[in-house]
Structure 1
Amino acid sequence: MQWKLKLTVLAGVTVAAGAVCAQEQLVRIGHAAPLSGPQAHYGRDNENGARMAIEELNAQGITIGGKKIRFELQAEDDAADPKQGAAVAQKLCDSKVAGVVGHLNSGTTIPASKIYHDCAIPMVTGSATNPNLTKPGYKTTFRIIASDSALGAGLAVYAADTLRLRTVAVIDDRTAYGQGVADVFKKTAIAKGIKVVDEQFTTDKATDFMAILTAVKAKNPDAVFYGGMDPQGGPMLRQMEQLGMGHMTFLGGDGICTSEIVKLSGGAKTLNNVVCAEGAAPLAKMPGGTGWKTRFDAKYPGLYQIYAPYTYDATQLLVDAMKRADSVDPKVYLNELAKSHFQGVTATIAFEANGEMKNPPFTLYHFKDGKKTPM
Structure 2
Amino acid sequence: MKSLRMRRVTVIMTVLFLLTALLAGCGGKEPAADKKTVKIAFIGPLTGPNAMQGVGARNAFQLAVKQANATGALPYKLEVVDLDDASNPATGASVAQKIVADKSIVAVSGHWNSPVAEATIPIFKSAGMNLLIWGAISPKLTVKENYPFVTRVAPTQSQENAPLAKFVVSDLGRKKWAIISDTSTYGKSNTQAWTDEVKKYPGTSIVSVDEIQVGQTDFRPILSKIKAVGVDGIYFGGVVMEGALARRQASELGMKDTLLVGISGIMDAKYIETAGKEVAEGVVATKPGKDVSKMPGGKAFVEAYGKAGFKEPYGAYGPYAYDAANIIIAALKKAGPDRKALVDAVAKTELDGLLGKTVFNEVGQTKNIVSTIYVVQDGKWVDWEASDYKSGKRKLPGAQ
TM-score over 0.5 (shorter chain): yes
**Cα pair 1:297 1:304 within 8 Å, conserved:** no
- Structure 1 residue 21 displacement after superposition: 7.9
Is 1:164 matched up with 2:173?
A: yes
- Structure 1 residue 324 displacement after superposition: 2.5
Query: What is the CA deviation profile of residues 242-267 of structure 1, one whole-angstrom value per residue up to 9, with x for unaligned ones?
Result: 11112211110101122222211112
Aligned match of 1:52: 63
Q: 2:315 aligns with which of 297, 301, 305?
A: 305
User: Mind listing any 5+ residue stretches in structure 1 that lack a counterpart?
Assistant: none
For the residue of structure 1 that corresponds to 2:141, the secondary structure is: helix
**Cα pair 2:234 2:259 within 8 Å, conserved:** yes
Aligned match of 1:240: 250
**Cα pair 1:167 1:221 within 8 Å, conserved:** yes
TM-score normalised by length of structure 2? 0.85
Q: 2:266 aligns with which of 245, 253, 256?
A: 256
Aligned match of 1:286: 295
Aligned match of 2:391: none
**Cα pair 2:61 2:321 within 8 Å, conserved:** yes
**Cα pair 1:114 1:138 within 8 Å, conserved:** no
- Structure 1 residue 172 displacement after superposition: 0.6
Q: 1:84 aligns with which of 68, 86, 91?
A: 91
**Cα pair 2:282 2:377 within 8 Å, conserved:** no
For the residue of structure 2 that corresponds to 1:372, the secondary structure is: strand
Q: 1:350 aligns with which of 351, 359, 363?
A: 359
For the residue of structure 1 that corresponds to 2:326, the secondary structure is: helix
Q: Which amino acid aligns with 1:255?
A: G
Aligned match of 2:129: 121
Q: Which amino acid aligns with 1:75?
A: D
Aligned match of 1:104: 112
Aligned match of 2:373: 364
Of residues 89-98 and 328-337 in structure 1, the stretch that sits farther from structure 2 once superposed is: 328-337
Aligned match of 1:204: 214
Query: What is the CA deviation profile of residues 265-319 of structure 1, one whole-angstrom value per residue up to 9, with x for unaligned ones?
Result: 11233x2331111111111111111221122133224533211121111111101
**CA distance, structure 1, for counterparts of residue 119 and residue 285 of structure 2:** 27
Is 1:152 matched up with 2:161?
A: yes
Q: Greater Rg, structure 1 or structure 2? A: 2
Identity %: 28
Query: What is the CA deviation profile of residues 14-33 of structure 1, one whole-angstrom value per residue up to 9, with x for unaligned ones?
Result: xx89x968962111111111
**CA distance, structure 2, for counterparts of residue 340 and residue 127 of structure 1:** 18
**CA distance, structure 1, for counterparts of residue 33 and residue 224 of structure 2:** 67
**CA distance, structure 2, for counterparts of residue 20 and residue 259 of structure 1:** 42
**Cα pair 1:228 1:255 within 8 Å, conserved:** yes
Query: What is the CA deviation profile of residues 186-240 of structure 1, one whole-angstrom value per residue up to 9, with x for unaligned ones?
Result: 1211232421111111122122221221122122111000011111111211111
Aligned match of 1:41: 52
**CA distance, structure 2, for counterparts of residue 20 and residue 282 of structure 1:** 39
Aligned match of 1:176: 185
Aligned match of 2:139: 131
Query: What is the CA deviation profile of residues 63-109 of structure 1, one whole-angstrom value per residue up to 9, with x for unaligned ones?
Result: 3xxxx211111111111111111111111111131111111111101
**Cα pair 2:49 2:240 within 8 Å, conserved:** no
Q: 1:328 aligns with which of 334, 337, 343?
A: 337
Is 1:340 matched up with 2:338?
A: no
Aligned in 2, Cα 1:341/1:178: closer, same or farther, shift over 3 Å?
A: same
**Cα pair 1:30 1:74 within 8 Å, conserved:** yes
**CA distance, structure 2, for counterparts of residue 255 and residue 318 of structure 1:** 25
Compute the RMSD of aligned alpha carbons: 2.5
**Cα pair 2:292 2:299 within 8 Å, conserved:** yes
- Structure 1 residue 5 displacement after superposition: 6.9
For the residue of structure 2 that corresponds to 1:331, the secondary structure is: helix
Q: Which amino acid aligns with 2:100?
A: C
For the residue of structure 2 that corresponds to 1:100, the secondary structure is: strand
**Cα pair 1:32 1:75 within 8 Å, conserved:** yes
